Amino acid sequence: MSFALRAHGFRRAVLIQLVLAALGVSVGGMTLPFPSLGGTGTAGLPVPVLTALAGSIVLAGPSAAAWPAARTNGVRSASATLIAVLGLTIGPTALLCGAVALLLPGAAAADHLGVLAWMLALQLAVGTWISARHQAMGPAVYVLLCALLGRSGSVVQPWAWPLADVPSEWALVFGLTALALALACLARFGLHLASTP
């Protein structure tokens, strides 16, 4: 596990995750303009959605690189090692968001963490069921669809929930539940086609 942390860029990913979390929490109420097909009055993407998207994409390359090139049975389970390394990589971000949520209850810390968990769940689902090499496409396509089609006038579609002003607790529960399911699938099936060029 320590080899995976050193060799595949997970240590750098921890620092990037912390920077993105700090950015998402500090300007969490801000929305960046983005074209929408459902009306222009409320078009835009919240900063926590963008920072969470960037945070999940940062983990895509190291996750695929850390998976064994050939699906050999080593001493340790590749899935367990990858899940542990992902936990160690996201752990400091979760601690930062938890501390900010306790100290500043109005901050978007739980929002960022919930959306990050949701994006990572989408990414791992794509990596498990479609292709580990293209797993970053899952959250990227989802955010693009949310931006383009997630709003109908001023109403956010239920499937585009990160764009809505949902309570932080709901975002956290929904994101962590999806991540737990994605990790269970990863533990059972592993990354798909990680060794194909």
pLDDT tens digits along 6-47: 555 677 888 888 888 888 888 767 887 776 676 555 567 888
In the block, tokens 């737990």 appear at 180
Q: Comparing 27-36, 84-93, 125-134, which segment has the lowest mean pLDDT?
A: 27-36
DSSP 8-state assignment for residue 36: -
User: CA-CA distance, 170 to 186, in Å (whole number)?
Assistant: 24
Give yes or no for a contact between 97 and 171, defined as CB atoms under 8 angstroms apart: no
User: CA-CA distance, 101 to 64, in Å (whole number)?
Assistant: 32
Tokens in use for 186? Answer: 């990863």
> How would you classify the pairing of strands 155-156 and 31-32?
unpaired
* Residue 79 binned pLDDT confidence (cut-offs 50, 70, 90): confident
Residue whose C-alpha is closest to residue 165's, from 62, 48, 73: 48
User: CA-CA distance, 1 to 158, in Å (whole number)?
Assistant: 39
Mean pLDDT to the nearest integer, 115-140: 90
Residue 49 has pLDDT above 60, yes or no: yes
* Residue 68 binned pLDDT confidence (cut-offs 50, 70, 90): low
Give yes or no for a contact between 142 and 133, defined as CB atoms under 8 angstroms apart: no
Residue whose C-alpha is closest to residue 45's, from 144, 138, 111: 144
In the block, tokens 């990037």 appear at 16
Greater pLDDT, 48 or 74: 48
User: CA-CA distance, 10 to 34, in Å (whole number)?
Assistant: 31
The radius of gyration of the chain's CA atoms, rounded to the nearest angstrom, is 17
Quote the distance between the C-alpha of residue 166 and its chain's center: 18
Give 15's contacts (C-beta < 8 A, 6+ positions apart).
none
Amino acid of residue 119: M
Mean pLDDT across the chain, nearest whole number? 80
